[in-house]
């Protein structure tokens, strides 16, 4: 039996009070812990490999990896060394650093659909730049997006209504993920005003099981874009650099015209990127996009170090092996404890749900029980493995999740 700790420690609770005074709701966005748990700490003080520590000194085995960015593990020595080395030269300078060229070259060398790259800060910067480029290239306006898909949290793509006007999303036309006929119907609705088809490499909407892409659907979208002269944009912000370094649809042989990257690109440093095909280079050049920190050298140096490490070829197979070990273990535990669960998505981006679990009550109780036993995972958002997880770490996690299943009984 793993130890069970009271839900929240005194330092955490003191921080809650302070935060509520100076931050709306005490925190916001996907990291507002009150939106998914009464037992998870809102504040994390440090991270090391696949472990994080809260304000009360409690250590958690980390299955969120900073919600995706930390693909090599927290404070990866190679990336940290690159960051500190670059800090010794400079970060936000008057012009781009040569490391921007180094990293653009490495991306172009790594990603078969990339003839060029541009850098930014957020995943939303990247998806917005893709859509703007596609509109500039085609002179058209409509963008097909999957119903419920997350492409960022700004008005043009927000899934929430507060503060968003109808006009912000006037040129989005919706289809259903993995339903090619719905995409074709959306394209027909867009008619001769179709600029782009925007799609995630798999369906990873929150609060529902993940769904891998049907290869025929991916090929069908590629053909639809070719037939209509529109731009196929893959939003690889969440999956990028965890499924295939060449792009998440590369194993299917489906190459996008534009790809949006962020999250794992620099192991946690703030960086996004857009890559594209030669035919869209002039359009990318024609639009005006920029940001004060888009050219900063330190995150680019971190990206260079991260991708260099990933290209050594061990990190992704390691995540697949440990992810499979986790999935197999959780499946056995669920059976042993008499629960019917579903585990969906690629094993290195796990998601677990309980059958018939209305309102996510059971999975939330299980996630909180896991949290109390020192495993940080999420009840209705996918998790992320990192290359820092070892088989022994997974076994340690499984000891604790087993007790969490038992606690539900």
- Footprint of a copy of itself on residues 322-381 (CB under 8 A)? 376
CB of 84 to a copy of itself, least distance (A): 6
CB of 340 to a copy of itself, least distance (A): 28
- In sequence order, the 6+-apart residues with CB closer than 8 A to the CB of 168 are 155, 156, 158
Pick the closest to residue 196 from 254, 246, 146, 253 (CA basis).
Answer: 146
Q: Which stretch binds a copy of itself (CB under 8 A): 214-222, 290-298, 329-337, 390-398?
A: 290-298
Tell whether residue 13 is a contact of a copy of itself (CB under 8 A): no
Interface residue with a copy of itself, options 283, 301, 367, 388 (CB under 8 A): 283
Residues 42-71 that bind a copy of itself (CB under 8 A): 42-48, 52, 54-55, 60, 62, 64-70
Interface residue with a copy of itself, options 113, 269, 344, 353 (CB under 8 A): 269
Cβ pair 260, 237 in contact under 8 A: yes
State the angle between helix axes of 98-110 and 297-311 in degrees (0 to 180), rounded to the nearest 10. 30
Could you tell me how many residues make up the chain?
A: 409
Q: With contacts defined by CB under 8 A, how many residues of the chain interact with a copy of itself?
A: 114
CB of 193 to a copy of itself, least distance (A): 10
Interface residue with a copy of itself, options 4, 13, 39, 96 (CB under 8 A): 96
Q: What is the DSSP letter of 211?
A: B
Closest to a copy of itself by CB, 186 vs 218, is 186
Cα–Cα distance measured from residue 1 to residue 107, given in angstroms and rounded to the nearest whole number = 46
CB of 406 to a copy of itself, least distance (A): 24
Cβ pair 60, 375 in contact under 8 A: yes
CB of 236 to a copy of itself, least distance (A): 13
The pairing of strands 194-199 and 272-276 is unpaired
Interface residue with a copy of itself, options 59, 85, 282, 395 (CB under 8 A): 282
CB of 399 to a copy of itself, least distance (A): 20
Q: Is 125 helix (H, G, I), strand (E, B) or coil?
A: helix
Cβ pair 406, 5 in contact under 8 A: no
Closest to a copy of itself by CB, 82 vs 180, is 82
Tell whether residue 87 is a contact of a copy of itself (CB under 8 A): yes
Pick the closest to residue 125 from 364, 4, 299, 325 (CA basis).
Answer: 299
Per-residue string for binding with a copy of itself, 155-194, x by CB under 8 A? Answer: xx-xxx-xxxx-xx-xx-----------------------
Sign of the torsion formed by the C-alpha atoms of 393, 301, 242 and 40: positive
Interface residue with a copy of itself, options 50, 58, 111, 123 (CB under 8 A): 123
Tell whether residue 141 is a contact of a copy of itself (CB under 8 A): yes
Residues 249-268 that bind a copy of itself (CB under 8 A): 262-263, 268
What Rg do the C-alpha atoms of the chain give, in angstroms?
21
Structure tokens at 268: 């946690």
Cα–Cα distance measured from residue 7 to residue 404, given in angstroms and rounded to the nearest whole number = 14
CB of 214 to a copy of itself, least distance (A): 27
Closest to a copy of itself by CB, 84 vs 336, is 84
Distances from the Cα of 62 to the Cα of 41, 53, 250, angstroms: 12, 9, 29
């Amino acid at each position: 039996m793993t130890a069970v700790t009271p839900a929240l420690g005194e330092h955490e609770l003191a921080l809650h009070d302070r935060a509520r005074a100076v931050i709306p709701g005490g925190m916001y966005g996907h990291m507002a812990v009150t939106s998914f748990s009464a037992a998870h700490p809102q504040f994390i003080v440090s991270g090391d490999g696949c472990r994080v520590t809260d304000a009360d000194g409690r250590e958690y085995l980390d299955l969120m990896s900073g919600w995706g960015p930390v693909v090599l593990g927290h404070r990866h020595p190679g990336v940290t060394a690159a960051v500190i080395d670059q800090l010794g030269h400079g970060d936000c300078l008057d012009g781009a650093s040569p490391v921007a060229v180094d990293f653009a070259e490495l991306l172009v060398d790594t990603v078969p659909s990339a003839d060029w790259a541009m850098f930014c800060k957020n995943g939303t910067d990247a998806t917005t730049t893709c859509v703007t480029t596609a509109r500039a290239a085609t002179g058209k306006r409509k963008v097909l997006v999957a119903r419920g898909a997350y492409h960022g949290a700004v008005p043009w793509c927000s899934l929430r209504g507060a503060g968003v006007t109808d006009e912000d999303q006037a040129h989005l036309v919706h289809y259903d993920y993995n339903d090619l006929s719905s995409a074709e119907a959306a394209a027909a609705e867009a008619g001769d005003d179709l600029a782009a088809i925007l799609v995630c490499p798999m369906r990873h909407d929150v609060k529902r099981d993940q769904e891998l892409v049907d290869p025929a659907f991916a090929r069908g979208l590629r053909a639809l874009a070719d037939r209509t002269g529109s731009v196929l944009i893959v939003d690889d912000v969440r999956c990028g650099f965890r499924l295939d370094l060449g792009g998440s649809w590369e194993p299917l042989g489906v190459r996008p015209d534009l790809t949006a990257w962020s999250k794992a690109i620099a192991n946690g440093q703030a960086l996004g990127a857009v890559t594209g095909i030669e035919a869209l280079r002039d359009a990318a050049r024609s639009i005006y996009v920029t940001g004060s920190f888009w050219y900063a050298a330190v995150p680019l140096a971190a990206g260079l170090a991260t991708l260099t490490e990933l290209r050594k070829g061990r990190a992704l197979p390691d995540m697949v092996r440990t992810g499979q070990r986790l999935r197999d273990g959780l499946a056995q535990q669920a059976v042993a404890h008499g629960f019917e669960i579903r585990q969906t998505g690629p094993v290195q981006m796990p998601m677990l749900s309980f059958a018939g679990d209305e309102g996510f009550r059971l999975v939330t109780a299980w996630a909180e029980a896991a949290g109390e036993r020192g495993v940080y995972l999420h009840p209705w958002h996918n998790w992320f493995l990192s290359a820092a997880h070892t088989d022994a770490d997974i076994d340690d996690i499984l000891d604790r999740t087993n007790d969490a299943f038992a606690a539900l009984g």
